[in-house]
Every structure is written in C-alpha cells, then in structure tokens.
C-alpha cells in the first residue's frame, strides 16, 4: 500500500484564514434568486417570500460574505429597477443569460436575506453598460444615513437604516468579450479608477475589488492585471480571480489533479500584482478575491439539449448535478485556497443555490444538499484559524493534466483558541488505499477526536430529492498513534477530515 507523510509544526504557519474565504455568490441567473432564495408561495416561505428551507441550508454552510447580483448579469443591470414598490418594477430583457428579469428581488430584499442567512452582502456595480456615477449613486442609496436624495429614497422605500455594505466589486469579468460593455484594460482601468474614487468619496469605509482575468487561459492574462492596477493600485484592496474546473474528457485521474493548477494560478497573480507594487516602490499588498470558483461543466450544453426557452423567467439553466468526484475536486480546491490564505482573503463558491450550486431546490418542493455541499460545510466549520505549513511527502502519479501529480493533497489548520487541529486530505489514487502518517510532535500531544470520509464505489453517484443523503461524509476510523506518529488509512478517491485536540 502506498504511504504518505505529513509533518506539521505549531510555529510554521502560512497565515490566518480570513473567514471570508468561505463566501458564496448569488446572481440573477436561472433559478438562483427566484425558486432558490425567493419563492413566496413555497410552504417554508416567510412573510418576505424567502424560502426557509434554503435559508437553513445556507446558515449550515456559514458563509460570511455573499456576492450579488452578478456575475455577467450585473454588466447590464440598473439597480434602480430593483428598488421601490414591487408592482412598479419593470420586467427587462436580460441579455447575459437571455432571460426575462422581473425585478421581484432587488438590493434591499437581498440585504434583508443576507441578515437572515447570517452573511454580509458583497455588492457588484455595473461598469459594463454603466459607469462611475451610477456606481456612486448605488453607494449613496445603500450606505448614506439620510438627508440626501438617494438616502431618503431608500428610507421612503422602507429601509430607514443604511445597509452599511463594506465590500464592493468594480464590475465583473470585464476582460471577457462575452461581457456586456467589455473593455480593454486601459478603458476598464480608467473607468474602475474613477468609479472607485467616487464610491470611496461617498463612503470612505469601503473595500474595493477590481476585476482581474476571468480565467488563466485569457489571452490578456498577466498584462490585464498589470495595466488595470497601473490605473487603480491606490484605489483598491483586492483583485478578483475566477476558476471553474470540469471533467469534460471523462478522465477522473486528470480531473482530480486539476485543483493544483488553481494554486499555481494564485501564485502567478500574486507575482503580477506584487510586480506592480515593486514598480511603484510600494509596500502596499493587493490581496486576492477568488470570487468565483467551483466545478462547472455538466450543464454546458443545457440550453440546446434541454431546449430551454429564451426570455423565460428563471429558466433552469446552469443546474449542474454534482457527483462524488466533483465533491473531491471541490475539496481539493478548498485545500488550495487554505494553503494560499496569506494572499487569498476572499473566496466565493459560485454559486449558492440551483445555479452551479451546493443546494438544489424543487419548485414548491424540497431543498437538498448536493455532494459539493459537504466539503465546503466541513471546511467552513472546522478549517478556521491558522493554516500550518505542512511538509508533505507522498508518491505521485502521471495523468494528462500533470505528470508527477502527488497522490495526496492536504491542508492543516490550527484553531489557536481551542488548540484543535483539523487536517483536510484528498487522496486521489483511484485503486489503492493510502497510509497517511502525520508527524504532529511539533504541535504538542495531539489526540484524534473525530474523522470523516466522503467516498463512494460509484464516483458518479449524486444526491437527488428522492435520495438527498446518498452521498455524505461518514464517520471513519480514528488515526492511531504509532512510534510517535498518527497513522490512518485513507480509502481510494476519498475526501477526509481528521480532527485532533491537544
Ligand atoms: O457563475 C456563472 C458565470 O460565470 C458568471 O455570471 C460569470 O461571472 C462567470 O463567467
């Protein structure tokens, strides 16, 4: 049986996990908002129309920030359409997703939902078809207490207190030709700089995220970040970064190797933004907001295959039904985020419900946890604190994605308050178990307190309304002490959570 070793020391840390690493994302897209978050005639809906069953599952994930309202949607959005009396709101042709947008939910309702879900809104402004002045007006509407036209408009709409939204995105994926109002780096850099200035003059407490590259394969990647930051370096705190992984080729060994590329992408973006800082002789460090990440490929062909009608309200688009191997990859992506927590301060799983999401709903019916729900819920619950710089030794395997892929990928997180250590480990071998020996002598006398494993003989198994818990973590055998090390056997193709207490 192959064996791996992981050595951790109390004082060798990568950084502290910013809780916002466990963020989510809700876009006006498909059935995310309507039939996901809001469905007034659902049996669990509250007086505002919010589904109680979905709220309970979102609370279980404990996501400290939620990005809204897009995504591609935001680049054609007029926020004014979504405020004021609901019966007066316009129904619009929504060009990003070829749907009809009824504006039944807008900024105020979303902020209310966030409070109920125990999360904080992270709002994006439209720098596609609109610009700095509209962005500034939205900040005034949301955050100014009273006594100005737009703050008093908010009050007249029934929200007396300012929303106090701190975190804002300056547009979305502006480097992509698919984006409404797509711009060159020069055009976007200028617009983002002016928007940022006006937004911060309106509310100096804001933190701003400027658009980086939509993905690593963009032809402008690297140059885009440099040029955009040449314009916005002094105005922003974060640069955004997005990645979606998929198994289009049906090659599981390669799919499981893909999260490592996410880590390399982060390193490249860090190098690029620090290059801009160096050119300016600046000690300021632009941090990363990984505000869209997930597995996404099952639904790529949906519009054609499922004959989804154009210009429908809340059509069932981008509804990936996630299987076991998707959950393993999401686990691997979480490990990469944790092991880069010194520079990635915000990350949003895209998205939260129905649209490439950990939660699925049936209209008028159940809400259930998809397979990918579980690694996120476990990491969000247990992997908070200081990430330890583990020394991992393990055999490798070759696959089309990457020769020499380590069989194991892992992150170890210490909660300084309790002294508890959580190890998240993805075993990517498909046939044999792996022996993992953890040398935690540098962390004191660690005793195993709990272990869970997510695996299945059928890597394509999914959860459904009829079988919502078909795939879920199961309690596993605790590591045993042997020669001063903690030893455990990890089954093939498994996501493992091991918890220890001093
Ligand atoms: O999350 C789905 C879409 O993916 C978003 O709208 C867009 O930003 C990205 O391309």
- Protein residue whose Cα sits closest to atom 5 of ligand 1: 71
Cα(429) to centroid(ligand 1), Å: 31
What number does the ligand 1 atom closest to the CA of 292 have?
A: 1
d(CA 224, CA 213): 7
In this structure, which residue's CA is closest to atom 7 in ligand 1? 71
- Token representation of residue 502: 């001093």
Distance 470 CA to ligand 1 centre (A): 29
Query: What is residue 46's predicted lDDT score, i.e. its pLDDT?
Result: 98
Active site residue 319: no
Check residue 70 and give its pLDDT. 97
Q: Is 358 in the pocket of ligand 1 (CB under 6 A)?
A: no
Question: For this structure, is 160 an active site residue?
Answer: no
Highest CATH level, class, for 3-10+388-501: mainly beta
The response to whether residue 70 sits with its C-beta less than 6 Å from ligand 1 reads yes
The pLDDT value recorded for residue 483 is 81
Ligand 1, atom nearest to 351 Cα: 1
Q: Are 5 and 392 in contact (CB under 8 A)?
A: yes
Degrees (nearest 5) of the Cα angle 346, 425, 323?
80
Exposure b/e, 44-76, CB count within 10 A at least 16 = b: ebeeebbbebbbebbeebbbbbbbbbbbbbbbb
Q: Ligand 1: which residue has its CA nearest to atom 2?
A: 71
Q: Is the CB of 27 under 6 A from ligand 1?
A: yes
* Domain range annotation of the chain: 3-10+388-501, 20-382
Determine the pLDDT at residue 439: 96
Nearest-angstrom CA–CA distance, 233 and 213: 16
The predicted pLDDT at position 217 comes to: 95
Q: What is the pLDDT of residue 305?
A: 76
pTM: 0.97
What's the confidence (pLDDT) of residue 304?
73
CA distance 159 to 263: 42
* Domain 20-382: top CATH class: alpha beta
| 21 secondary structure, DSSP code | G
| Largest Cα–Cα separation, the chain | 72
Per residue of the chain (502 residues), what is the pLDDT tens digit? 899 999 999 999 999 999 999 999 999 999 999 999 999 999 999 999 999 999 999 999 999 999 999 999 999 999 999 999 999 999 999 999 999 999 999 999 999 999 999 999 999 999 999 999 999 999 999 999 999 999 999 999 999 999 999 999 999 999 999 999 999 999 999 999 999 999 999 999 999 999 999 999 999 999 999 999 999 999 999 999 999 999 999 999 999 999 999 999 999 999 999 999 999 999 999 999 999 999 999 998 887 777 789 999 999 999 999 999 999 999 999 999 999 999 999 999 999 999 999 999 999 999 999 999 999 999 999 999 999 999 999 999 999 999 999 999 999 999 999 999 999 999 999 999 999 999 999 998 899 999 999 999 999 999 999 999 999 999 999 999 988 899 999 999 999 999 999 8
With a 6 A CB cut-off, is 30 part of the ligand 1 pocket? no
Rounded distance from Cα 356 to ligand 1 centre (Å): 10
383 CB burial (10 A radius; 0-12, 13-18, 19+): buried
| Alpha helices, H only, 88-184 | 107-117, 132-143, 149-156
CA 255-260-261 angle, 5° bins:
90
């Amino acid at each position: 049986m192959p064996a791996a070793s992981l050595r951790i020391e109390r004082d060798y840390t990568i950084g502290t996990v910013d809780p916002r690493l466990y963020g989510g994302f809700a876009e006006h897209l498909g059935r995310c908002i309507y039939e996901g978050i809001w469905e007034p005639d659902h049996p669990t809906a509250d007086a505002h129309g919010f589904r109680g069953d979905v709220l309970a599952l979102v609370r279980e994930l404990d996501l400290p920030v939620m990005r809204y309202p897009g995504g591609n949607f935001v680049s054609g959005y007029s926020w004014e359409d979504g405020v004021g009396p609901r019966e007066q709101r316009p129904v619009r042709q929504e060009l990003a997703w070829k749907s009809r947008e009824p504006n039944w939910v807008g900024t105020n309702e979303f902020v209310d939902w966030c409070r109920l879900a125990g999360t904080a809104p992270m709002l994006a402004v439209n720098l596609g078809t609109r610009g700095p002045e509209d962005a500034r007006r939205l900040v005034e509407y949301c955050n100014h207490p009273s006594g100005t036209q737009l703050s008093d408009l908010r009050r007249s709409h029934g929200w007396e207190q300012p929303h106090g939204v701190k975190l804002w995105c300056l547009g979305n994926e502006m480097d992509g030709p698919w984006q409404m109002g797509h711009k060159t780096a020069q055009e976007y850099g200028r617009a983002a700089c002016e928007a940022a200035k006006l937004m911060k003059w309106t509310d100096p407490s804001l933190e701003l995220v400027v658009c980086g590259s939509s993905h690593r394969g963009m032809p402008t990647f690297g140059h885009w970040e440099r040029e955009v930051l040449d314009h916005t370096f002094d105005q922003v705190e974060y640069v955004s970064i997005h990645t979606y992984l998929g198994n289009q080729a049906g090659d599981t060994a390669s799919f499981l190797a893909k999260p490592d590329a996410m880590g390399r992408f982060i390193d490249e973006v860090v190098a690029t933004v620090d290059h801009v800082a160096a050119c300016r002789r600046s000690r300021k460090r632009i941090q990363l907001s990984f505000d869209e990440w997930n597995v996404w490929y099952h639904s790529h062909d949906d519009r054609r295959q499922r004959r989804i009608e154009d210009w429908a309200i809340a059509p069932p688009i981008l509804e990936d039904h996630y299987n076991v191997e998707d959950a393993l990859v999401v686990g691997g992506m979480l490990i990469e985020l944790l092991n880069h927590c010194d520079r990635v301060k915000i990350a949003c799983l895209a998205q939260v419900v129905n649209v490439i999401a950990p939660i699925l709903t049936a209209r008028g019916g159940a809400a259930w946890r998809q397979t990918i729900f579980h690694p996120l819920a476990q990491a969000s619950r247990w992997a908070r604190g200081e990430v330890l710089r583990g020394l991992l030794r393990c055999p490798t395997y070759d696959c089309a994605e990457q020769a020499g892929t380590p069989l194991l990928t892992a992150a170890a997180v210490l909660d300084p308050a309790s002294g508890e250590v959580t190890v998240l480990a993805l075993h990517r071998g498909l046939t044999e178990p792996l022996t993992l020996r953890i040398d935690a002598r540098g962390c004191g006398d660690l005793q195993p307190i709990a272990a869970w494993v997510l695996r299945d003989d059928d890597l394509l198994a999914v959860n459904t309304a009829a079988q919502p818990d078909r795939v879920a973590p199961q309690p596993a055998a605790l590591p045993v002490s042997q020669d001063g090390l903690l030893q455990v056997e990890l089954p093939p193709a498994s996501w493992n959570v091991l918890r220890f207490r001093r």
